[in-house]
């Protein structure tokens, strides 16, 4: 009776993960279609050469789809295709971590642009990102070693594989701490500029860079805290794992949208400056007299 109940629960969990998988896939494909024109305009047509930032944006855009493809085999292939849990653990962990890594990298670059005149803050921002990556990797490796006997055992079901310690909530507090440092640095910069009535606040591009960053960090921290609480208290960690996977895709999508928004604001400001320059040239052409379009 107990074995039958466990088997029924495992089948239910697998079905639940499949529903979450298709939800994530639908969300990712839908946002690809919505932003396809922006991708062509800003990524493929605009740059004369591919810079590091362009490569980062490119990776952030397509990593979610790659992560979904990586998650597909464990969900839809028979479990006897896998000789051990090790491959399943690594595939699942990579798919969850890749989206967060690219989003954190892009937001760190944006933070460094805001603080580019203060080298110590730039160093601190990159150090914060590096510590997050190193500690997350170290946590995974240590958990993987501790659960080696499970990792290399014959998998009975996918649920038994991904339920080991290497995929628990331990890295989430590290992520919350890292994002908290970033939002404090960005928030202090916004506060200082407002208090000192900085000229930078006159530029829409700068305001967008700072304000969108604050919104993203707030959203990111709240999601990570919710996931941490669910992992710690909720007994059905399979459901939480699926939600966490969906959240990582949302991180990547949100990062892509704030990057596109920044480029749109930049285009609008460039058009405004070109319009002002054009009007100035027309006024100068009038040899010191005011230009009257109706009279012309």
What digits encode the pLDDT tens for the residues 196-207? Answer: 888 888 888 888
The pLDDT, as a whole number, for residue 295 is: 32
Tokens 């994002």 sit at which residue? 179
Q: Does position 290 have pLDDT exceeding 50, yes or no?
A: no
103 and 221 Cβ atoms separated by less than 8 Å:
no
Count of the separate structural domains present in the chain: 1
For residue 277, being part of any structural domain is answered with: no
For residue 36, being part of any structural domain is answered with: yes
The pLDDT, as a whole number, for residue 10 is: 67
Most confident option among 25-29, 122-126, 256-260? 122-126
115 and 121 Cβ atoms separated by less than 8 Å:
yes
Q: Does position 126 have pLDDT exceeding 90, yes or no?
A: yes
Higher pLDDT: 24 or 233? It is: 24
For residue 279, being part of any structural domain is answered with: no
Separation of first and last alpha carbons in the chain: 93
8 and 229 Cβ atoms separated by less than 8 Å:
no
The average confidence (pLDDT) of the chain is 78
Surface-to-core class of residue 62, CB atoms within 10 Å of its CB (0-12 exposed, 13-18 middle, 19+ buried): middle
CB atoms near residue 247 (< 10 Å): 19
112 and 126 Cβ atoms separated by less than 8 Å:
yes
Q: If you average pLDDT over residues 272-285, what whole number do you get?
A: 59
What is the pLDDT confidence band of residue 291, given thresholds at 50, 70 and 90?
very low
Q: If you average pLDDT over residues 52-73, what whole number do you get?
A: 82
For residue 97, being part of any structural domain is answered with: yes
The pLDDT, as a whole number, for residue 160 is: 65
Higher pLDDT: 285 or 223? It is: 223
For residue 33, being part of any structural domain is answered with: yes
Tokens 């839908």 sit at which residue? 30
Cα distances (angstroms) measured from residue 238 to each of 37, 88, 162, 178: 37, 14, 8, 25
The pLDDT, as a whole number, for residue 292 is: 40
85 and 164 Cβ atoms separated by less than 8 Å:
yes
3-class secondary structure, 150: helix
Higher pLDDT: 253 or 88? It is: 253
Q: Which domain holds residue 190?
A: 2-269
The pLDDT, as a whole number, for residue 294 is: 40
Higher pLDDT: 167 or 209? It is: 209
The pLDDT, as a whole number, for residue 237 is: 64
**The token pair that represents 159 in the structure block:** 């649920």
CB atoms near residue 277 (< 10 Å): 10
What is the pLDDT confidence band of residue 156, given thresholds at 50, 70 and 90?
low
For residue 285, being part of any structural domain is answered with: no
For residue 282, being part of any structural domain is answered with: no
The pLDDT, as a whole number, for residue 99 is: 80
Inter-helix orientation angle 119-146/85-114, to 10°: 170
Inter-helix orientation angle 85-114/237-285, to 10°: 30
CATH number of residue 18's parent domain: 1.20.1070
What is the pLDDT confidence band of residue 276, given thresholds at 50, 70 and 90?
low
Percentage above 70 pLDDT, the chain: 77
Q: If you average pLDDT over residues 196-220, what whole number do you get?
A: 87
d(CA 69, CA 72): 5
Tokens 């930032």 sit at which residue? 53
The pLDDT, as a whole number, for residue 183 is: 92
d(CA 166, CA 187): 34
Most confident option among 137-141, 201-205, 216-220? 216-220
For residue 280, being part of any structural domain is answered with: no
263 contact partners, CB below 8 Å, separation of at least 6: 38, 42
């Amino acid at each position: 009776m107990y074995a039958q109940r466990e088997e029924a629960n495992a089948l239910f969990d697998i079905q639940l993960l499949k529903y979450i998988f298709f939800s994530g896939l639908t969300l990712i494909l839908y946002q690809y279609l919505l932003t396809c024109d922006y991708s062509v305009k800003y990524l493929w047509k605009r740059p004369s050469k591919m810079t590091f930032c362009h490569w980062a944006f490119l990776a952030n855009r397509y990593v979610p789809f790659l992560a979904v493809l990586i998650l597909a085999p464990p969900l839809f292939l028979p479990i006897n295709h896998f000789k051990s849990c090790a491959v399943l653990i690594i595939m699942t962990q990579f798919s969850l971590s890749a989206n967060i890594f690219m989003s954190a990298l892009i937001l760190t670059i944006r933070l460094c642009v805001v603080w580019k005149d203060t080298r110590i803050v730039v160093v601190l921002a990159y150090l914060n990102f590096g510590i997050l990556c190193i500690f997350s990797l170290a946590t995974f490796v240590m958990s993987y070693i501790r659960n080696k006997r499970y990792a290399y055992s014959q998998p009975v079901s996918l649920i038994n594989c991904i339920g080991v310690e290497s995929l628990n909530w331990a890295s989430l507090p590290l992520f919350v701490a890292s994002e908290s440092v970033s939002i404090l640095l960005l928030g202090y910069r916004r506060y200082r500029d407002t208090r000192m009535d900085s000229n930078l606040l006159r530029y829409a591009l700068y305001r967008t860079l700072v304000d969108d960053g604050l919104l993203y960090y707030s959203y990111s921290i709240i999601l990570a805290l919710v996931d941490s609480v669910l992992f710690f208290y909720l007994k059905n960690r399979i459901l939480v794992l699926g939600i966490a996977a969906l959240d990582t895709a949302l991180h990547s999508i949100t990062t892509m949208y704030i990057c596109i928004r920044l480029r749109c604001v930049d285009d609008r400001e460039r058009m405004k400056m070109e319009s002002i320059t054009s009007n100035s040239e027309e006024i100068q052409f009038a040899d010191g007299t005011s230009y009257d379009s109706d009279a012309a």
